[in-house]
């Protein structure tokens, strides 16, 4: 039995494996959302030829997923704006009736952030990449702040970055981004190498709850953990609390063993009836869920912070 904090792993983990898509080598680091009376998601599929593609999925219960065997087709007004063959780690945010999808849209210039919108998970409109290369993680806030769209993002380099801080930025129109503010960077222990934003921030009376990944470097490579932070509701670059102890660590066999060992990569969260279901990629191979009461997560972040 793994050492657990407030999150309890779903006993049927992993809930999604490569068996869900015929051409999948692996399915991991993906995003889900409430969609009408059911759920929809955008799934990272590393294909048999090792192209990384995004696929739409639907589920009645957010556990059993039907994933499209073919990648998403994005449309844009400009042929230069396109989804690359190295598209990975999507996040979804809903604002009103529109779903905003961000992902790492990497090309020969390195990792960049892609941005698209949909209202029906059938038609996708891809917009200009919001940030300059290199950047590997970006998630949109679920409402505007001070009249502007807001993101957390994580500048990177072209490779498997051995560093990484989280920044905040805003935009009046989803195209022009600026006012970049430092939010937080690596600190000791499991988050000492780099950190990056996970699911869309969750608004709570105690501040924005951000679940993030933290990485430390062992003598045998990177290990990925999940932590949490509470940030000021009006000035979300200001950290109120931040976990010293991790929320989730790679301890189960499916988190320890895979294409990239020792990875839990939180990328999506559903909050319903006071319960948070956290979706996370496991060892770059499959997808799992862990569940906690939202108030317990908030208390944990407050009481296990620096
Ligand atoms: C990150 C990304 C993720 C991956 C993680 C661990 O840099 O590439 O997609 O899960 O590394 O390998």
25, 281, 283, 287: which to mutate for ligand 1, most atoms within 8 A of CB? 281
CB half-sphere exposure, 274, CA atoms < 13 A: 3
Specify if 119 maps to a domain. Answer: yes
Q: Is the beta carbon of 255 within 6 A of some atom in ligand 1?
A: no
| Closest by Cα among 58, 26, 23 to 283 | 26
Interatomic CA distance for residues 293 and 40, integer angstroms: 22
- Flag whether 2 is in a domain: no
Residue 9 lies in a domain: no
List CB contacts of 33: < 8 A, sequence separation 6 or more. 39, 40, 41, 92, 94, 99, 268, 270
Closest ligand 1 atom to residue 89 Cα is 9
Number of domains in the chain: 1
CATH number at residue 189: 2.115.10.20
Separation of alpha carbons 131 and 38, rounded Å = 32
Count of other CB atoms within 10 angstroms of residue 18: 18
In a domain, 5, yes or no: no
- Whole domain around residue 173: which residue ranges? 15-303
Q: What is the pLDDT along the chain (306 residues), one digit of tens a residue?
A: 456 789 999 999 999 999 999 999 999 999 999 999 999 999 999 999 999 999 999 999 999 999 999 999 999 999 999 999 999 999 999 999 999 999 999 999 999 999 999 999 999 999 999 999 999 999 999 999 999 999 999 999 998 899 999 999 999 999 999 999 999 999 999 999 999 999 999 999 999 999 999 999 999 999 999 999 999 999 999 999 999 999 999 999 999 999 999 999 999 999 999 999 999 999 999 999 999 999 999 999 999 999
User: What's the CA-to-centroid distance between 234 and ligand 1, angstroms?
Assistant: 31
pLDDT for 1: 42
Residue 3 lies in a domain: no
| Nearest alpha carbon, ligand 1 atom 4 | 284
Nearest CA to ligand 1 atom 9: 89
Tokens representing 133 are 């290369």
Asked if residue 87 is part of any domain, the answer here is yes
Distances in Å between the alpha carbon of 211 and those of 72, 140, 182? 27, 13, 17
Determine if ligand 1 sits within 6 Å of the CB of residue 284. yes
4 falls within a domain: no
Is residue 222, in this structure, part of any structural domain at all?
A: yes
């Amino acid at each position: 039995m793994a050492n657990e904090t407030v999150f309890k792993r779903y006993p049927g983990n992993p809930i999604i494996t490569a068996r869900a898509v015929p051409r999948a080598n692996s399915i991991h680091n993906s995003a889900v959302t409430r969609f009408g009376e059911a759920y929809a998601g955008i799934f990272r599929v590393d294909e048999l030829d090792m192209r990384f593609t995004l696929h739409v999925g639907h589920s009645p219960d957010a556990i059993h997923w039907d994933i499209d065997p073919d990648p998403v087709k994005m449309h844009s007004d400009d042929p230069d704006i396109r989804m690359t063959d190295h598209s990975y780690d999507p996040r979804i945010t809903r604002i009103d009736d529109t779903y905003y999808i961000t992902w790492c849209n990497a090309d020969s210039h390195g990792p960049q952030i892609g941005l698209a919108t949909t209202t029906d998970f059938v038609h996708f409109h891809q917009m200009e990449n919001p940030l300059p290369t290199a950047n590997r993680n970006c998630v949109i806030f679920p409402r505007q702040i001070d009249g502007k769209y807001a993101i957390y993002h994580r500048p990177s380099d072209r490779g498997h970055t051995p560093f990484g801080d989280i920044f905040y930025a805003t935009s009046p129109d989803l195209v022009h981004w600026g006012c970049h503010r430092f939010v937080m960077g690596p600190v000791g222990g499991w988050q000492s190498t780099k950190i990056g934003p996970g699911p869309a921030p969750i608004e709570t009376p105690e501040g924005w709850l951000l679940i993030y990944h933290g990485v430390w470097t062992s003598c045998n490579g990177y290990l990925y953990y999940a932590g949490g932070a509470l940030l000021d509701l009006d000035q979300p670059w200001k950290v109120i609390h931040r976990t010293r102890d991790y929320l989730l660590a790679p301890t189960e066999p499916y988190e320890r063993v895979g294409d990239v060992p020792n990875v839990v990569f939180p990328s999506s969260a559903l909050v319903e009836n006071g319960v948070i279901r956290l979706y996370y990629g496991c060892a770059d191979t499959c997808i799992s869920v862990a569940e906690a009461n939202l108030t317990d997560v908030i208390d944990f972040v407050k009481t296990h912070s620096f």
